[in-house]
Structure 1
Amino acid sequence: MNKLKIFSIALLSIAGISHAQDMEQAKKAIDAEQYDKAKGMLKGILQSKPSNGRAAYLLGNIYLKLNVPDSAKIFFDKGVLASEGSKLNYAGLGQLELDKGNTAAAQANFANATKDLKKKDTEELVAVGKAYTNSDKPDYKAALTFLNKAKTANPNDAQVLLALGDAYYKDKNQNDAYTAYRDALMADNTMIRAKMQQGVLLKGARAFNEAVKSLNEVVASNASYGPVYRELAETYYLWGVNEPKKYTENIQKALAYYEKYMSMTDYSLDSRMRHADFLILAKDYKALEAEAEKMKQLDKVNPRILRYLGYSAYENGNVDVAIKSLEDFIANPSNKVIARDYLYLGQAKLKKANATGTVDATLFTAGVADLRKSVEMEITMSSDLSDVGKKFFADKKYKEAAAIFEIAMMNPDSKTYNDDILYYAIAVNTVNAKLDVAQRDKAALQKANAGLDAILAKYPTYQDAYYYKARLFSTLEDGVSMVKAYEDYIRVLTEKGAEELAKPANKSKLTESYNTIAANYADTDKAKAIEYFNKTLALDPANAYATESLKTLKR
């Protein structure tokens, strides 16, 4: 019996060592972003030892990274019942509550995660700090509170320092982030992610050349570390976006590095989805369509594939497939819908609504609603709308153009903000000027005027803003404000000198300004009216309206 007991203890000891080794290998696979490989290892550990709460926590976190919250919750719920490492899973459940905006429920879970910790315990504190950092509704200050407690408990724990670096970086504190990553690397010189993150900081600071150099140093030290190629891809992508002259060259480099990254992962459905997300950024829609088809072969029912099919179908000209795919994706309550989903759905509906040349009003209205929802979810989506509005404007579909520019105007930080306001003002005025006074949309006209005021607050010498304000006031039948705006236009243009005055477009607008001011004074101040009609004739001696009006005034 004694021999049997010794043999059993030896077997348990060997099994424990094996599980510990498997856990370390799973952590390395997670760090290398080989999530399918890590999932397989962790599920194997849980199958042989269901009481391993750390394995459940790591599995749940993988599903959080992959935006599959239902699966994450299944493993966290199992993990809290485990006999070891159970508290970590409360941190995972807390993050799920944070993602849903349930702060009180999240804090209750975090309290369970950190209850009765020993002086040197840091694992649970780091888990809570990461939950606050990585949530869809992050709280970086709260994350730093927990992580600094962990640092106080163990100042040389590399994992603590790495998590601190991530929280500082996302909180836009570059200096403290760099210090934390440097200290993590000093604490553990094998922690290649900390070294990589130093390059990521440079990318975030838009020091692209230096970022590439730093990331290539990581490649030189460990060429088999996959995530560094993803960071290189993203750096070259951002470099291309920020320096349009190098866009094509840098996007090609970005795509090549992402292919390299893919070769370092497992070509699983999850990694293909990350690749698809990058192809969307790089606007390589042919490759996206091919990737979506490969994903469909791997898993015909995965809902995210509908997103990629929808995006690529729209870009490749098949709006019906785009609308069907994206509507099916959005209709599934378990899917994590993002702003870009509504952006593509809205654009697809608009394209179909305008397919025959006669706008389908119902479909167009539905598309505009989707675009608005997209921009409300994420304001930067507005940058895609200016060109859409200009297409309708060029087709003289001013009502439709105004509806699109109104949404684009929601983002005052957009590069096209001034243009969007100007186009909106012109479109709104063009539509309303043709209507009877009682039918005019005064709210839209006033909104357009307020937009032009916003431009003038920044650029007081932008003459066209005054010109279009005058036209809006004319439609609003506010003669006093109209004359003032035309006078401001004339003043600003005149101050810019003869060269600007001589431009044909400005000459035409000046003539209109003089004639309209003159007409406004015709019944109340004949001398003023004559003065302005004479200014018209000095500019355009053959102007029939000014000539005939002067004859009438002098009778």
Structure 2
Amino acid sequence: MKMNKNKSNKVKMNKFKILSVAFLATVSVMNAQDIDQAKKAIDAEQFENAKSTLKSIIKSDPSEGKAYFLLGNIYLSQKVSDSAKITYQNGLTAKNDEHFNYIGLGQMDLNKGDVVAAKAKFELARKEMGRRDFGEYVYIARAYMNADKPDFKAAIQTLNLANERNAAEPQVLLAFGDAHYGDKNQNAAYSAYRNAFQADNSLIRAKMQLGVLLKGAKAYTEAVKAFNDVIATNPNYGPLYRELAETYYYWALNVPSRNDEYMKEALSYYEKYMSLTDYSLASRMRHADFLIVAHDYKALEIEAEKMKQIDKVNPRILRYLGYSAYYNDNVDVAIKSLQDYTANTTNSVISLDYLYLGLANIKKATMGADVTAAEPVLFNKGIELIKKAVAMESAVVNDLSEAGKGLYEQKLYKEAAAVFEISTSNKESKNFLLDNFYLGNSLYFDNTKAGAVKDTIALRKADIAFGNVIEASPATQDAYVYRARTNTLLGDDAQMINYYQQYIDIVTKKGPEEMAKAAVKGKLIEAYNTMAAGYANTDKVKAIEFFNKTLAIDPANGYALQSVEMLKK
């Protein structure tokens, strides 16, 4: 029996519709699984893996708006703003979850400082939320936290709305922990992280963050133990090794006696982190940034060369090449790299770029074992670049001490003084006291070298520098000696006597053991003889008294013996 043709077509069409719905449902489930996979990769900081997965989803099904949003977030975290913006805008044309992309665009507004525009976009995302939805609130809160200028209080306010929808949701609790941590509320952060892990013990990041709190409190032993406890159960979670690297780095800074040991541990753990995440250009740049703070410039130069092979035109590679080349004495490479980088107005130039370009010029101007003075043009150019760096960020003076000391050890005292004058311009510098001492010494010794013409202005600067040392640390006894010597050169006998007397008072108060030291004895003899000479023309009795004090220490002191004999005539 023949089936009616129309009826046959209708059956076929119904079968096609059923198959299409089934196919779409299968694709939807597969995409959801792939998006979950991408989220896990993002959490594990395997960003290239996540990008690959998300691009694959978008290619196979452009209707998945959440895939665009997550991909845009990765670009934004990697500072590739143009790609992030394009991805978010394309995501707004998707059929499903397109509204999440308003959140990404909102964060970009926050980065530009346009809070009003950001809130407007967040509101567009909120309008599309279902009655029980909370994920949008979590992502809006993270936008506030991840902005260039984070607003943790706004993040907490937003998370309170998510909390009203689902107070037990682990991701809400985790975000609360991050927001409270950023807001410097350690107790609230601890509770939130603990509750997040209790709600979902597969949420490794929550347990890891408990160790991060210990790291922030400088409880380094406890932090390392906390991270190792998590590693024992989850050895392939890369971010744990990054946290260990940072913990050992800060531990090294706080325990100078074990700096080399802990810094080695830090670098080793960072290598482990890289091996478990990815070796993309973005990851290598994060690694390079860590190598800079860890002062491993040999490894930085190797990393920079590898990055150059991946992307020859990326301008940030010039920064890494410049920094490492400076420390590895490849000054021409350092100057060329940093000149090229800073000359391009589209690059994000920071104070350190000018600092190391300046230092590289100074190093080239003073190279050579037998150099007696710097090549003036290069040296002055270097000083001006350093001043430019300090004008951008005064804290960079902390990095000048090493360069100044290098010049001082070369006996390039005038050049060293020029560097130390800049480094002592910031009273908040961690090296303020020591740099002032070196500044004073540099100016003093520059005025005592063979053939030197007395520079009264420089000597007065030296006097002020030693005064800064004494004010900050009155027990620094040698500062009084050098200040007295400086005033001798200035011809100010009254101040010379004053500072030598203060030196004598300090070492006398420390007792016989201090005064018995050979170096102290030598300076006491210097003080007594110079003070006596200062009194010789005005108070012979006083002069003889001080020469006799010299003879009490050194009975055979020729200068004192001869001077006493002359004064008694």
Q: Report the TM-score, using the length of structure 2 for normalisation.
A: 0.83
Pick one of 106, 118, 121 that aligns with 1:109. Answer: 118
Provide the C-alpha distance between the structure 2 equivalents of 1:524 and 1:47, rounded to a whole number of angstroms: 96
Alignment-derived partner of residue 274 in structure 1: 286
Provide the C-alpha distance between the structure 1 equivalents of 2:135 and 2:144, rounded to a whole number of angstroms: 15
Provide the C-alpha distance between the structure 1 equivalents of 2:425 and 2:207, rounded to a whole number of angstroms: 40
Please say if 1:188 is aligned against 2:200.
yes
The offset of 1:85, in angstroms, is 4.7
Please say if 1:322 is aligned against 2:334.
yes
The offset of 1:180, in angstroms, is 1.6
The offset of 1:31, in angstroms, is 0.9
8 Å Cα contact 1:52-1:83 kept in structure 2? yes
The offset of 1:245, in angstroms, is 5.0
Secondary structure of the structure 2 residue equivalent to 1:206: coil
- Structure-to-structure mapping, 1:59-458, within 5 angstroms: 59-79=71-91, 85=97, 88-99=100-111, 102-103=112-113, 105-114=114-123, 122-356=134-368, 357=371, 358-374=373-389, 381-409=396-424, 416-431=431-446, 440-441=457-458, 444-445=461-462, 447-456=464-473
Pick one of 444, 458, 461 that aligns with 2:475. Answer: 461
Q: Report which stretch shifted further, 285-294 or 115-124.
A: 115-124
The offset of 1:29, in angstroms, is 1.2
- Deviation readout 1:526-547 (Å, 9 max, x if unpaired): 5444433443444444555555
Q: Report which stretch shifted further, 120-129 or 355-364.
A: 120-129
Distance 1:425 1:144, change over 3 A: farther
- Deviation readout 1:84-112 (Å, 9 max, x if unpaired): 5555445444544554xx53x13431343
Provide the C-alpha distance between the structure 2 equivalents of 1:446 and 1:112, rounded to a whole number of angstroms: 60
8 Å Cα contact 2:152-2:179 kept in structure 1? yes
8 Å Cα contact 1:181-1:198 kept in structure 2? yes
8 Å Cα contact 2:466-2:480 kept in structure 1? no
8 Å Cα contact 1:229-1:258 kept in structure 2? yes
The offset of 1:185, in angstroms, is 1.1
Distance 1:544 1:150, change over 3 A: farther
Distance 1:204 1:489, change over 3 A: same
- Deviation readout 1:309-352 (Å, 9 max, x if unpaired): 22333333322112212222333344344454444433322221
8 Å Cα contact 1:198-1:214 kept in structure 2? yes
Provide the C-alpha distance between the structure 1 equivalents of 2:102 and 2:471, rounded to a whole number of angstroms: 49
8 Å Cα contact 1:114-1:124 kept in structure 2? no
Q: Report which stretch shifted further, 150-159 or 409-418.
A: 409-418
Pick one of 480, 484, 488 that aligns with 2:502. Answer: 488
The offset of 1:220, in angstroms, is 2.5
Q: Give the aligned residue type for 1:391.
A: G
Provide the C-alpha distance between the structure 2 equivalents of 1:476 and 1:135, rounded to a whole number of angstroms: 56
Distance 1:328 1:82, change over 3 A: farther
Q: Report the TM-score, using the length of structure 1 for normalisation.
A: 0.85
8 Å Cα contact 1:91-1:110 kept in structure 2? no
Please say if 1:500 is aligned against 2:514.
yes
The offset of 1:257, in angstroms, is 3.2
Number of paired residues? 549
Provide the C-alpha distance between the structure 2 equivalents of 1:29 and 1:139, rounded to a whole number of angstroms: 26
Provide the C-alpha distance between the structure 2 equivalents of 1:52 and 1:196, rounded to a whole number of angstroms: 31
Provide the C-alpha distance between the structure 1 equivalents of 2:388 and 2:190, rounded to a whole number of angstroms: 37
Q: Report which stretch shifted further, 352-361 or 281-290.
A: 281-290
The offset of 1:425, in angstroms, is 1.6
Secondary structure of the structure 2 residue equivalent to 1:440: helix
The offset of 1:497, in angstroms, is 1.6
Distance 1:501 1:43, change over 3 A: same
Pick one of 511, 528, 534 that aligns with 1:514. Answer: 528
Secondary structure of the structure 2 residue equivalent to 1:137: coil
The offset of 1:198, in angstroms, is 1.5
Bigger Rg over Cα: 2
8 Å Cα contact 1:34-1:265 kept in structure 2? yes
Q: Report which stretch shifted further, 257-266 or 408-417.
A: 408-417
Q: Report which stretch shifted further, 371-380 or 128-137.
A: 371-380
Provide the C-alpha distance between the structure 1 equivalents of 2:157 and 2:515, rounded to a whole number of angstroms: 62
Secondary structure of the structure 2 residue equivalent to 1:177: helix
Secondary structure of the structure 1 residue equivalent to 2:377: helix
Percent of pairs identical after alignment? 54
Distance 1:539 1:305, change over 3 A: same
Distance 1:494 1:168, change over 3 A: same
